[in-house]
């Protein structure tokens, strides 16, 4: 598997007529090596891959030679890396691929090991490779999603009037960790009442009150892979308008999810949800995109949005998460993460989407 991933990088190098590439981001070093420690760097030449890390990780990293890596010990920090670079790339005016997420300071230091290079941004190429998940990735993501499902069913029993948003967020994260999550996939959103009109509101000491909507947007990171789900439920009967909004969001989420399959566009998947919400008169209250890719990072390619140029392919993982948010009233969002297949898609999350009243 990792040999295939290394091969896909060497293919990018060949296709873009590069002499090599430098990979420094944690998500990409993980993708190409399974190595999750910090402070490591992968250097690709046209033929070979070098994995460099320091003393703390060298024992773990030594196993990477079975994937075809030459493992290099960094003894003197950056100096060791620049020395390695200057050995690997001797000539002038060679072309090196880099990620645009690398910090300017770090990149500037790396340049000292290279001779007047031409730099090519390969960030997009890497995102494209990573947008299609292999079997191992899908099973890790399914596990991350099932951890979130477990936490959600626990929370439905845990919540009661008077519990604070922070207590709910902490409980969610605790239960996810107890069930195998390394950490939350992103800052847990647990908001209630009128605050649910803020798509990314921050949990605070607000207590749950009767008739409150409660929106939970959260996920687990399991062995590097993220899950992402959102549910809105109600503490006692919702107001007439919020119940109506729930039904519209439910329909938009369901129809967009039912629409998704291989070769549909990210634009049209977004349009299915957006048209339903607009036709009910709530278009201007749905101010974000319908979905995004998920994987090693919580936001990856492809996007399901009005600006998307993406065409969905088998084994892409995307969220489907329409919402309606009305200032001073509240909001509803329902989100599943799905895997695209030839004739449809299937959700990784299995928590009920129907309206829940506690
Ligand atoms: Mn999401």
Ligand 1 centre from 286 Cα, in Å?
Answer: 14
**Predicted TM-score (pTM) of this structure:** 0.94
The tokens describing 68, both together, are 């075809």
Q: What is the pLDDT of residue 77?
A: 87
Ligand 1 centre from 318 Cα, in Å?
Answer: 9
Least confident of 26-30, 54-58, 97-101, 351-355: 54-58
Q: What is the pLDDT of residues 302-345, one digit of tens each?
A: 999 999 999 999 999 999 999 999 999 999 999 999 999 999 99
Q: Which residues pair with 191 in a beta bridge?
A: 215
Mean pLDDT of 96-104: 95
Ligand 1 centre from 319 Cα, in Å?
Answer: 6
Ligand 1 centre from 308 Cα, in Å?
Answer: 16
Ligand 1 centre from 33 Cα, in Å?
Answer: 26
Ligand 1 centre from 287 Cα, in Å?
Answer: 14
Q: What is the pLDDT of residue 116?
A: 85
Ligand 1 centre from 303 Cα, in Å?
Answer: 11
Ligand 1 centre from 349 Cα, in Å?
Answer: 12
Going by pLDDT thresholds of 50, 70 and 90, the confidence category of residue 253 is very high
Ligand 1 centre from 335 Cα, in Å?
Answer: 7
Q: What distance in Å separates the CA atoms of residue 36 and residue 26, rounded to the nearest whole number?
A: 7
pLDDT at 144 over 80: yes
Ligand 1 centre from 289 Cα, in Å?
Answer: 10
Ligand 1 centre from 341 Cα, in Å?
Answer: 20
Ligand 1 centre from 218 Cα, in Å?
Answer: 8
pLDDT at 38 over 80: no
Ligand 1 centre from 190 Cα, in Å?
Answer: 14
Ligand 1 centre from 39 Cα, in Å?
Answer: 28
Ligand 1 centre from 270 Cα, in Å?
Answer: 14
Going by pLDDT thresholds of 50, 70 and 90, the confidence category of residue 203 is very high
**Residue 352: how many other CB atoms lie within 10 Å:** 12
Domains, the chain, ordered by start? 2-130 (3.40.350.10), 135-347 (3.90.230.10)
**Residue 199: how many other CB atoms lie within 10 Å:** 18
Ligand 1 centre from 148 Cα, in Å?
Answer: 13
For the chain, the three-class secondary structure string (H helix, E strand, C coil) is CHHHHHHHHHHHHHHCCCCEEEECCHHHHHHHHCCCCCCEEEEEECCCEEEEEECCCHHHHHHHHHHCEEEEEECCCHHHHHHHHHHHCCCCCCEEEECCCCCHHHHHHHHHHCCCCEEEECHHHHHHHHHECCHHHHHHHHHHHHHHHHHHHHHHHHCCCCCEHHHHHHHHHHHHHHCCCCEECCCCEEEEHHHHHCCCCCCCCCECCCCCEEEEEECEEECCEECCEEEEEECCCCCHHHHHHHHHHHHHHHHHHHHCCCCCEHHHHHHHHHHHHHHCCCHHHCCCCCEEECCCCCCEEEEECCCCCCECCCCEEEEECCEEEECCCEEEECEEEEEECCCCEEECCCCCCCCCEC
Ligand 1 centre from 320 Cα, in Å?
Answer: 8
């Amino acid at each position: 598997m990792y040999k295939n991933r290394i091969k896909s990088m060497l293919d990018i190098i060949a296709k873009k007529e590069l002499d090599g590439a430098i990979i420094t981001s944690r998500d990409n070093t993980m993708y190409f090596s399974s190595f999750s420690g910090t402070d490591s760097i992968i250097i690709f030449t046209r033929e070979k891959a070098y994995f460099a890390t320091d003393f703390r990780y060298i024992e773990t990293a030594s196993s990477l030679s079975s994937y075809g890596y030459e493992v290099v010990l960094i003894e003197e920090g950056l100096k060791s890396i620049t020395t390695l670079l200057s050995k690997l790339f001797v000539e002038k005016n060679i072309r090196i691929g880099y990620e645009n997420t690398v910090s300017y300071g770090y990149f500037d230091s790396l340049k000292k090991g290279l001779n007047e290079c031409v730099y090519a941004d390969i960030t997009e190429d890497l995102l494209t490779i990573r947008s299609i998940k292999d079997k191992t990735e899908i099973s890790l993501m399914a596990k991350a999603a099932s951890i979130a499902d477990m936490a959600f069913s626990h929370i439905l029993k845990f919540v009661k009037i008077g519990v604070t948003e922070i207590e709910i967020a902490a409980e969610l994260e605790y239960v996810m960790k107890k069930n195998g999550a390394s950490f939350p996939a992103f800052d847990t959103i647990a908001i209630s009442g009128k605050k649910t009109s803020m798509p990314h509101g921050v949990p605070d000491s607000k207590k749950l009150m009767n008739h409150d909507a409660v929106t939970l947007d959260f996920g687990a990171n399991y062995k590097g892979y993220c899950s992402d789900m959102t549910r809105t439920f109600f503490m006692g009967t919702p107001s007439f308008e919020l119940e109506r909004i729930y039904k519209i969001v439910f329909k938009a989420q369901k129809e967009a999810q039912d629409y998704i399959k291989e070769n549909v566009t990210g634009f049209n998947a977004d349009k299915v949800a957006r048209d339903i919400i607009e036709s009910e008169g709530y278009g201007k209250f749905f101010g974000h995109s319908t979905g995004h890719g998920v994987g090693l990072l919580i936001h990856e390619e492809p996007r399901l949005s009005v600006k998307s140029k993406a065409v969905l392919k088998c084994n892409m993982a995307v969220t489907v998460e329409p919402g309606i948010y009305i200032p001073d009233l509240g909001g509803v969002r329902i989100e599943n993460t799905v895997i695209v297949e030839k004739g449809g898609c299937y959700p990784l999350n299995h928590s009920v989407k129907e309206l829940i009243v506690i």
